[in-house]
Amino acid sequence: MRILRIAICITAIVFPLSVFAQTGPCGSGDACPVAGQICRGAAGSRLCYKTCTPAASGSATECSATETCETPSGLDRTVCVVAAGGASGSPSTGSEPPAEVPFVPITPVLGVPIPGGSLSAPTRDNGVVRVSFLAEYINAIYRYISSIALVIAIVMCVYGGFLYLGASAGIGQIARGKKIITDAIIGMLIILGAYSILNIINPQTVNLKTLELAFVQPMNDEDMESLEAELADPAIAAGTSGGGGDFITVDESAMERLDETCVHLNTPVDPSVIEPLRRAANRFCELRGSHSDWRIVGGGFRSPALSLRLWLKRCVGRINCTTGTGAPLRPGVTTHSATTPWSFSDPALRALIPPPQTAPYSDAQIQPLYDRLLPQAGAPSYSGHARGLAMDLYCGGVSRNQSDAFVPCQLLLEQAMKESGFCRIPNEWWHFELASNHPSRACNPSWTIGTASIPLGEGAAREVDYRSCTRFYSFSRARAGTEACH
């Protein structure tokens, strides 16, 4: 009987834990586990999406009541997307904001359904993802096991009664029957009173809260580089920092990532930065108080391969270079002057430069040059990102990107970083490096929190103070001379 009880409990607990997802990461060979799904996305983050055919109302029979059938930015097919509120943002500044990553929740479906139990899909509202199915699952398991245990207790009461009553006929055992009945009644009382008992011991054990997670709106390295170039000192955009300088060897495998409660890095950094950044994140956690959706997000290291690709797309064949890091190539490989575009000393490389055009070159256009130059690409000693010593950070959950920061959170981020031994670039309020080891000469460990320097060209700059702004502050607007606080 005891073995039977153990087997029933194990079966009740283990079987429902076998779950699968309606949408989730792609499998081997970009295969999706469920028919009617497609695999899309960038390398390393490809997901399976449930396809649909939109009806006149915008919905589709393939989608649930909480989903709409649409074509999110970055996808080439209509898929089911959960309808949710957008992240906290700002009014249009005259240019399109970064494309928002489609919110595609992974909704568990129980492999062995629990009678009376169901799991709801995660939702997103104002940059916060709320996950309630864990609490729902635990509640369903409790009701499921309690029902089975009560049935077993009732059966044991009947069995004990049979032994008790059968004693007069010589086929029962009074003492054993009474003990079984007593144990079964005590068990039922414990089961029925378990909630009250746990609530008395510690109310938090029965107060199952919905998980609230900050939805990180990622910015890829190419967009990050473009934003930095747009807002950087005009001297950099003019190409005065491209190429040359000492080159160093960087071991990418030695770099580390950091993903904790209050900080998430999309790319790794030098190990020497990890502990100071962890201290800054812990301090930020203390400062943010009840704003659990505020989180430090961003990236650090940029490989020579990525820097080379970005430089080729935006600089080669042009006089003005629109990357902040310049050419990741040794002196003598490139040629450039104030009146001549970026080119190469090798005629064979010059022959591979695509025809001039206004827009940046595509990956396909610069691929021949990229293949030839990649073995020569390196990490300039003056580039903090190339060495994994610089980080571009902003407030995830409230700020859309570095350029349009939510000031109440931005001020706390700057305070935490400054107290933890970091310096900041004057004209890039998102760019931080260790004060004790900063390749960027402009990195200032004594900057005034809530202020920045806006380069205006010809060596001129304008100081801005955003400490009095209670909402969003746009670096792009400030540089354009329009109202930046909005």
Q: How far apart are CA 144 and CA 151, in angstroms?
A: 11
The better pLDDT of the pair 84, 252 is held by 252
Residue 412 has pLDDT above 90, yes or no: yes
Q: What integer best gives the mean pLDDT of the chain? A: 75
Per-residue pLDDT tens for 305-336?
888 888 888 888 887 765 555 678 877 888 88
Amino acid 37: pLDDT: 78
Say if residues 42 and 57 touch (Cβ distance below 8 Å): no
What are φ and ψ of residue 266, in 5° steps? -75, -25
Query: Strand (E) positions, 229-344?
Result: 247-248, 259-260, 263-265, 295-299, 334-335, 343-344
At residue 188, what is the residue type?
M
- Assign 372 a pLDDT band (cuts: 50, 70, 90): very high
- Assign 171 a pLDDT band (cuts: 50, 70, 90): low
pTM: 0.55
DSSP letter at 367?
Answer: H
Amino acid 322: pLDDT: 54
Per-residue pLDDT tens for 15-47?
333 333 334 556 666 777 666 777 766 544 467
Direct distance between the N- and C-terminal alpha carbons of the chain, in angstroms, rounded to an integer:
71
Interval 359-379 mean pLDDT: 88
Residues whose CB falls within 8 Å of the CB of residue 334, separated by 6 or more in sequence, listed in order? 242, 243, 327, 342, 343, 344, 345
Per-residue pLDDT tens for 143-156?
888 888 888 888 88
Provide, rounded to the nearest whole percent, the portion of the chain with pLDDT above 90. 16
Residue 482 has pLDDT above 80, yes or no: yes
H or E stretch at 302: none
What are φ and ψ of residue 462, in 5° steps? -130, 130
The better pLDDT of the pair 142, 263 is held by 263
Q: How far apart are CA 23 and CA 43, in angstroms?
A: 17
Lowest-pLDDT choice from 222-226, 441-445, 477-481: 222-226
Interior/surface letters 152-191, b for 16+ CB within 10 angstroms, e for the rest? bbeebbeebbebbeeeeeeebeeeebeebbeebeebbeeb
Instruction: Report how far apart, in Å, the C-alpha atoms of 257 and of each of 42, 142, 260, 429 are.
Output: 20, 38, 10, 22
Residues whose CB falls within 8 Å of the CB of residue 162, separated by 6 or more in sequence, listed in order? 172, 177
DSSP secondary structure, 165-184, as one string = HGGGGTS--HHHHHHHHHHH
Amino acid 10: pLDDT: 37
What are φ and ψ of residue 21, in 5° steps? -105, 145
Query: Strand (E) positions, 97-171?
Result: 108-110, 123-125, 128-131
| Neighbour count for residue 229 (Cβ, 10 Å) | 19
Instruction: Report how far apart, in Å, the C-alpha atoms of 278 and of each of 259, 261, 433 are.
Output: 10, 10, 14
Interval 451-480 mean pLDDT: 83
